Structure 1
Amino acid sequence: MKKGISLALALALALALGLTACSTASGGAADTPAANSGAPAVETSAQPSAETPENVTITSLNGSGEAVELEVPYDPQRIAILDMACLDILDALGVAEGRVVGSADTSLEYLQSYVTDGNVANLGTIKEADLEAVMACAPDIIFIGGRLASSYDALSEIAPVVYLATDSELGVVESVRKNASAIASIFGLEDKVDQLMTDFDTRIQALAEFAAGKTAIVGMCTSGSFNVLGNDGRCSILGREIGFDNIGVDAEIDTSTHGNEASFEFIVDKNPDYIFVLDRDAAIGTDGAQLAQEIMENELVMGTDAYQNGSIVYLAHPAVWYTAEGGIQALNIMLQDLESALL
């Protein structure tokens, strides 16, 4: 009998020591984001079973922008964020809080809690990642956007890298749906995507009815100049899905990055019904930059029908359009910007 009791005590002691060692190896409970963030703790996954896989396979992009099959851990608990559209989707799905261990900096108000939390490591920017900081936060999974495609291979040595992008040919809404579905499948939350995107198609349709038969120039103010944007990149939702006749697209063939600089005489010559303006300097917080309105409202532009009719639309949330296009919450804000100005 005494021998049996001694064995039980020995096993209990061994188990306690094992748990202590695991806690020490992971930095201890006090070092985890969930413990110190003040937010409700996120329930961790159960042990893998027939119903709970260890890994899942999703379609992502590689460093060359090619679609590939990528195996990632199911229901990851430590997430590194280097793309705001992905963080937007994770936040909307309810799986970001308490799991984001590192994030790139952002000025987006609705995602500020992830960059101001002292338990979330600063991983650099969405254009330039701090690889040492990413490695130090020991993520299970890393999310990036197109600005970090060149760092894909280096980041992949740390953890699986999910690289998702907006496909202008597919359209912003369908790209958001596709990317959100891919992210949701990592957490077993596929059914939640349709719920989150319930009214987007209806809202697009209402804007499309307004845009029918109307011409527009879509552009971006940056460094004191105006760059026209086509239907192949930023703000393509205006021409492709909402249906404004984007008459600025013939300025150049490829406008997908920062557009192509256009003269104000070009705008006067085209004389569109509407001019949509994205203020890039405001989006990225450029110190001392001219406001888009100061750039656009010059003597030439003020002679256009768009100005005379009050139809120059300055996109109210430029940081969302410029840094988070592709997110569920971002799409909602973008549509609100258009609805407020047009409907």
Structure 2
Amino acid sequence: MINRRNTLAALLFGALASVLSFQSPASADVVIKHAAGETSIPDNPKRVVVFDLATLDNMNRLKIDNIVGVPEGIKPKYLEQYNDAKYTKVGTLFEPNYETVASLKPDLIIIADRSAAKFNDLAKIAPTIDLSVNNNHYLADVDRNVTILGQIFNKQKEAKDEIDSLNKKLEEVRKVAADKGTGLLVMTTGGKISAFGPGSRFGLLHSGFGVKPANDKLEVGNHGQMISPEFILETNPDWLFVIDRDAAIGREGEAAAKLLDNALINKTKAAENKHIVYLDPQNWYLIGGGLSGLHETADQLDDVFSKAK
């Protein structure tokens, strides 16, 4: 009798163990490979702190609403909802408020680029992943980041759809840009001009959108190469693309259009053919690898190239 009871108990225990092991993946940790290594995080975390506007953009596109903390500061219109008081402000893009972050008891912290240097400190508070992008494989990293978010928050299909939609649009822009000549991208700030070429933080203009570089020997770095109006005339691009940094960060300064209204620049092919394009400064300077920003830029470039003679 005792043996029968023991056998029955063993069978019941085994069945229960099987059920539990079958159910456990729903709550199992997920190991994520990212720019700073590998991190084990809870599946579909419920309290997320984000220190990167591109990630905020991508989570918004994927309709992920598990965000409890965001950086303070200016945001584009499509992210203005995160200025609401229900999203705790956790410091700036560069400087986290560690006490505030800890008080939110997050189960995931996401950083990138500007906040990447704070990885070790933030990782002491909660599991942290770094979604920084590398300028040498920018679009591949954007795809990776969206895929990671889909994996973490069980939005794999939505993530794939977003990636496919963006890549299709980029391919369309590359086709219309192919025969439109050369381009030079400059950024203005504080009355100064810097240029960015292939491999730089804004090299996506060439690698992603297909614009032929007017100068492929520019210094590669976060701050670009300081240049003068004489340099722009010597380079003489078919297109001049402009980012007004002061406008991006809400700082008063000489507007890019006024600064570039220069006798030398006005002699360039770009100026003579009305091919000076003012890019959305927030999308380029603040957001970077965000889906909405990339879609808006693709639409703008497709429009100006399609209308060009």
Looking at structure 2, the residues matched to 53 and 249 of structure 1 have their Cα atoms a distance apart, in angstroms, of 50
TM-score (normalizing by structure 2): 0.87
Looking at structure 1, the residues matched to 268 and 132 of structure 2 have their Cα atoms a distance apart, in angstroms, of 35
The equivalent residue for 1:165 is 132
Do 1:227 and 1:259's aligned partners in 2 also have CA atoms closer than 8 Å?
A: yes
Aligned-pair RMSD on alpha carbons?
1.7
Match status 1:267 vs 2:232: yes
Q: CA deviation at 1:273?
A: 0.5
Q: Deviations over 1:247-290 (max 9, x none)?
A: 233232x23x121111111110111101111111111111x211
Match status 1:112 vs 2:80: yes
Bigger drift between 190-199 and 126-135 goes to 190-199
Q: CA deviation at 1:171?
A: 3.5
Do 1:228 and 1:248's aligned partners in 2 also have CA atoms closer than 8 Å?
A: no
Structure 2 alignment gaps of length 5 or more: 1-21
Looking at structure 2, the residues matched to 89 and 122 of structure 1 have their Cα atoms a distance apart, in angstroms, of 19
Looking at structure 2, the residues matched to 139 and 327 of structure 1 have their Cα atoms a distance apart, in angstroms, of 23
3-state SS of 2:295 partner = helix
| AA partner of residue 325 (structure 1) | G
| AA partner of residue 323 (structure 1) | L
Looking at structure 1, the residues matched to 192 and 217 of structure 2 have their Cα atoms a distance apart, in angstroms, of 18
The equivalent residue for 1:139 is 106
3-state SS of 1:198 partner = helix
Looking at structure 2, the residues matched to 80 and 185 of structure 1 have their Cα atoms a distance apart, in angstroms, of 17
Looking at structure 1, the residues matched to 46 and 168 of structure 2 have their Cα atoms a distance apart, in angstroms, of 35
Match status 1:334 vs 2:302: no
3-state SS of 1:102 partner = strand
Do 1:208 and 1:242's aligned partners in 2 also have CA atoms closer than 8 Å?
A: yes
Looking at structure 2, the residues matched to 249 and 261 of structure 1 have their Cα atoms a distance apart, in angstroms, of 15
Looking at structure 2, the residues matched to 201 and 184 of structure 1 have their Cα atoms a distance apart, in angstroms, of 17
| AA partner of residue 292 (structure 2) | Q
3-state SS of 2:175 partner = helix
Do 1:229 and 1:249's aligned partners in 2 also have CA atoms closer than 8 Å?
A: no
Q: Deviations over 1:217-258 (max 9, x none)?
A: 111111111110122233222111222221233232x23x12
Pick closer, same or farther for the CA change 1:295–1:322 going to 2, 3 Å: same
| AA partner of residue 278 (structure 2) | Y
Q: CA deviation at 1:308?
A: 0.4
Do 1:220 and 1:279's aligned partners in 2 also have CA atoms closer than 8 Å?
A: yes
Structure 1 alignment gaps of length 5 or more: 1-47, 63-67
Looking at structure 1, the residues matched to 213 and 262 of structure 2 have their Cα atoms a distance apart, in angstroms, of 22
Match status 1:49 vs 2:23: yes
3-state SS of 2:125 partner = coil
Looking at structure 2, the residues matched to 120 and 313 of structure 1 have their Cα atoms a distance apart, in angstroms, of 35
3-state SS of 1:58 partner = strand
Give percent identity, aligned residues only. Answer: 29
More helix, by proportion: 2
The equivalent residue for 1:88 is 57
Do 2:50 and 2:69's aligned partners in 1 also have CA atoms closer than 8 Å?
A: yes
Do 2:166 and 2:291's aligned partners in 1 also have CA atoms closer than 8 Å?
A: no
3-state SS of 1:50 partner = helix
The equivalent residue for 2:272 is 308
The equivalent residue for 1:30 is none
* 2:287 paired residue among 307, 317, 324: 324
Match status 1:182 vs 2:148: yes
Pick closer, same or farther for the CA change 1:61–1:205 going to 2, 3 Å: closer
3-state SS of 1:142 partner = strand
